[in-house]
Structure 1
C-alpha cells in the first residue's frame, strides 16, 4: 500500500506541474500588438562617378566602343555606389621569408543591391566616358515601403 501511495503521489505531482507550465505559457502568449510606421526626418543623397577608357573597349566600330564604354562607366558608377552603401570587403595576404617581405597582395570585393539610382549624365572626358549617378535615400525609402512596410511597436496589450 505504501508503494501504491508513492506512485499515486508522483503521478499527481507530475500532472499538477505540467498543468502549471501550460497555464504559464498560455497566459503570456495572448497579446495584441499595435504597429506604427516610422519615417526618418532626413535622407542622405549619395553621388558616384564611374569612368571607362573608350579605346580599350572591344568592338568592330568606334560606335560599338563608345557604347561599351558608356555601359562600363555606368557599371563602375554603380560599383562606387555599392561601396558607399555596403562597404568593401578587403582580403590581404603577406609572406615573409628570412625576415624579408617576399609577397604582398590584397583583393577587394563589393556585394549589394542598388535600387532607385538615377543616371544624372553621361559624357566624355578626353579618351574616357564618365557616368554620374545619384542615389536619393528618400526615393529608396519609398521603394522599400512599397514592398515591405517598416514598422515599430506602438502598443502591446496583454490579456
Structure 2
C-alpha cells in the first residue's frame, strides 16, 4: 500500500515538473521589429480597347439623339473590353442530356470590375451606321491611383530582440 502511494506521488511529481518545464518554455517572450518596403512592378503595360455601336438601331426621336446614344454605347463597350483585359472573363456553362442525347446547352459570359484612369483616345463615326470609341489605360497611372488607397508592402527586414 505504501509503495503504491510512493509510486503515485513520484508520478505526480514527474507530471508536475513536466508541466512546469513546458509552461516556462512557452513564457519566453520574443519581441520583433518588422520593416516593410513598397512593392513596385518593373514595367507597366498600356492597354487599349475599342468599342463599337450601331447608330441606326439606337433609341431616339432624332438622328442626333441616336448618334449620342451610339456614342455612349460604344464607350461602355470599350470599358467592358478594358475590364475584361484587367480582370478576365467569367465563363459558366451547362449541358443536359436525356438518353445520352443533348437536350440543352448554355454558355454564359460575364465581366465585373472597376476601371479607373482610362483615357478616351478617339471617338468617331465609321460610315453612316457605326460609332467607334478607342480607350487606353496606362497601368502606371492605375498603380499610382492604387497607391493612394492601399499601400502594397512586403517584409524588408525582421529584427528579433
| TM-score bin (small chain) | 0.7 to 0.9
1:7 shift after superposition:
5.3
Partner of 2:152: 150
Partner of 2:42: 41
The answer as to 2:21 corresponding to 1:21 is: no
Gap regions ≥5 residues in structure 2: none
Cα deviation 1:38-64 (Å, max 9, x = unaligned): 322211111000111112222222222
Gap regions ≥5 residues in structure 1: none
1:7-156 equivalent positions in 2, closer than 5 A: 10-11=15-16, 13-23=18-28, 26-27=29-30, 30-126=31-127, 127-156=129-158
The two structures have a TM-score, normalised by structure 1, of 0.83
1 CA distance for matches of 2:98 and 2:12? Answer: 75
2 CA distance for matches of 1:125 and 1:33? Answer: 58
CA RMSD of aligned residues (A): 2.2
- Structure 1 counterpart SS, 2:27: helix
With over 3 angstroms needed to count, the CA separation of the structure-2 counterparts of 1:14 and 1:64, relative to structure 1, is: same
How many residues end up aligned between the 2 structures?
A: 155
The two structures have a TM-score, normalised by structure 2, of 0.82
1 CA distance for matches of 2:156 and 2:13? Answer: 50
Query: Which is higher, the Rg of structure 1 or of structure 2?
Result: 2
Cα deviation 1:20-50 (Å, max 9, x = unaligned): 2232xx22xx111112223222111110001
2 CA distance for matches of 1:91 and 1:36? Answer: 40
Q: Which moved more, 1:63-72 or 1:74-83?
A: 63-72
